[in-house]
Structure 1
Amino acid sequence: MPANALLSPTSLTPGFMVVHANRLEDLRGLAVEWMRRHPLGPLENETILVQSNGIGQWLKLALAEDPGNGGAGIAAALDVMLPARFLWQAYRRVLTHVSHDADAVPETSPFDKSRLVWRLLRLLPTLAGQPVFEPLAQFLETDRDQRKHYQLAERLADLFDQYQVYRADWLDAWANGHDVLITARGEHRPLEEHQRWQPALWRILRDDVAATQGDAGLNSSRAQVHQRFLKATEQLEGQDCPPGLPRRLIIFGISSLPQQTLEALAALSRCCQIVLCVHNPCQFYWADIIEHKDLLRAQRYRQRRKTGMPEALDVLGTGDADDALHLHAQPLLAAWGKQGRDYLRLLDEHDDAGNYQTLFEQQALRIDMFEPFSGEERHCLLSQLQD
Structure 2
Amino acid sequence: MFTTYHSNDLDILLNLIKYNILKNPLNNPLQTEIIILSDLTLIPYLKINLSKIIGIHANINYINPEKFIWDLFIKIIPKITKENIFNKKMIIWQLMNIIPEIIVLPEFKNFKKYLSNIKNTNYLFQISIHIANLYDEYQKYRPKWLFLWEKNTEIFLTNDKDHIWQAKLWKKLIRYNEIILGKQLWYLSKLYNYIINIKNIKKIKYSVLPERIFILETQNIPLIYLQLLEKLTDYIEIHILIKNPCIHYWDNIQINKNDKFNNSLLFSWGNYGLNNINKLINLQSRMIESFVKIKSTNLLNNIQKDILLLQNNSLLKNKKKINITDDSIQVNIFTDAKQEIEFLSINIIKLINNNNYYLHDIIVISPNLEIYLPFIYSIFNKKNLPFNIYLDINKKNMFDIPDTFFFY
TM-score, length basis structure 2: 0.66
Provide the rounded CA distance (Å) in 2 between the counterparts of 1:42 and 1:242: 19
SS in 2 for 1:287: helix
SS in 1 for 2:231: helix
Q: Are 1:120 and 2:77 an aligned pair?
A: no
Gaps of 5+ in 1: 1-14, 66-70, 97-103, 182-188, 292-312, 314-323, 358-366
Paired-residue identity, %: 23
Task: Name 1:206's counterpart in structure 2.
Answer: 174
Distance 1:276 1:194, change over 3 A: closer
Provide the rounded CA distance (Å) in 2 between the counterparts of 1:36 and 1:128: 60
Alignment deviations for residues 360-379 of structure 1 (CA, whole Å, 9 cap, x no partner): xxxxxxx2122244x24223
SS in 1 for 2:3: strand
Q: Is the contact between residue 251 and residue 274 of structure 2 (CA under 8 Å) also seen in structure 1? A: yes
1:384 to partner: Cα distance: 4.9
Task: Name 2:277's counterpart in structure 1.
Answer: 344
Provide the rounded CA distance (Å) in 2 between the counterparts of 1:110 and 1:28: 34
1:51 to partner: Cα distance: 1.7
Which of residues 78, 81, 102 is equivalent to 1:106?
A: 81
Alignment deviations for residues 105-146 of structure 1 (CA, whole Å, 9 cap, x no partner): 112335321211111122222233334324433233136642
Task: Name 1:178's counterpart in structure 2.
Answer: 153
Q: Are 1:227 and 2:172 an aligned pair?
A: no
SS in 2 for 1:64: helix
Aligned residues: 305
Q: Are 1:46 and 2:21 an aligned pair?
A: no
Distance 1:191 1:208, change over 3 A: farther
Task: Name 1:77's counterpart in structure 2.
Answer: 59
Q: Is the contact between residue 179 and residue 190 of structure 1 (CA under 8 Å) also seen in structure 2? A: no
Which of residues 34, 51, 60 is equivalent to 2:20?
A: 34
Task: Name 2:338's counterpart in structure 1.
Answer: none
Task: Name 1:270's counterpart in structure 2.
Answer: 234
Task: Name 1:331's counterpart in structure 2.
Answer: 264
SS in 2 for 1:108: helix
Task: Name 1:20's counterpart in structure 2.
Answer: 6
SS in 1 for 2:206: coil
Task: Name 1:383's counterpart in structure 2.
Answer: 304
Which of residues 44, 63, 69 is equivalent to 1:57?
A: 44
Which of residues 269, 273, 287 is equivalent to 2:251?
A: 287
Provide the rounded CA distance (Å) in 1 between the counterparts of 2:19 and 2:199: 29
Q: Is the contact between residue 72 and residue 209 of structure 2 (CA under 8 Å) also seen in structure 1? A: yes
Q: Are 1:91 and 2:73 an aligned pair?
A: yes
Distance 1:352 1:50, change over 3 A: closer
Q: Is the contact between residue 94 and residue 229 of structure 1 (CA under 8 Å) also seen in structure 2? A: no
1:167 to partner: Cα distance: 1.4
Distance 1:231 1:200, change over 3 A: closer
Provide the rounded CA distance (Å) in 2 between the counterparts of 1:233 and 1:38: 33
Provide the rounded CA distance (Å) in 2 between the counterparts of 1:233 and 1:269: 18
Q: State the AA in 2 paired with 1:148.
A: Y
SS in 1 for 2:145: helix
SS in 2 for 1:347: coil
1:289 to partner: Cα distance: 4.3
SS in 2 for 1:283: coil
Gaps of 5+ in 2: 309-408
Please identify, of 113-122 and 339-348, the stretch whose mean Cα deviation from structure 2 is larger.
Answer: 339-348
SS in 1 for 2:239: strand
1:50 to partner: Cα distance: 1.1
Which of residues 167, 190, 197 is equivalent to 2:165?
A: 197
1:256 to partner: Cα distance: 4.2
Alignment deviations for residues 250-273 of structure 1 (CA, whole Å, 9 cap, x no partner): 112333432211122222210111
Q: Is the contact between residue 154 and residue 167 of structure 2 (CA under 8 Å) also seen in structure 1? A: yes
Distance 1:332 1:351, change over 3 A: farther
Provide the rounded CA distance (Å) in 1 between the counterparts of 2:135 and 2:239: 30
Distance 1:326 1:385, change over 3 A: same
1:76 to partner: Cα distance: 1.6
Distance 1:232 1:85, change over 3 A: farther
Distance 1:376 1:335, change over 3 A: closer
Task: Name 2:334's counterpart in structure 1.
Answer: none
Task: Name 1:166's counterpart in structure 2.
Answer: 141
SS in 2 for 1:274: strand
Q: State the AA in 1 paired with 2:280.
A: L
Question: What are the residue-to-residue correspondences of 1:290-369 with 2, within 5 Å?
Answer: 313=256, 324=257, 328-338=261-271, 340-353=273-286, 367-369=288-290
Q: State the AA in 2 paired with 1:377.
A: T
1:88 to partner: Cα distance: 1.1
1:87 to partner: Cα distance: 0.8
SS in 1 for 2:184: helix
Aligned-residue RMSD, C-alpha: 2.9
Alignment deviations for residues 256-306 of structure 1 (CA, whole Å, 9 cap, x no partner): 432211122222210111111012222112232456xxxxxxxxxxxxxxx
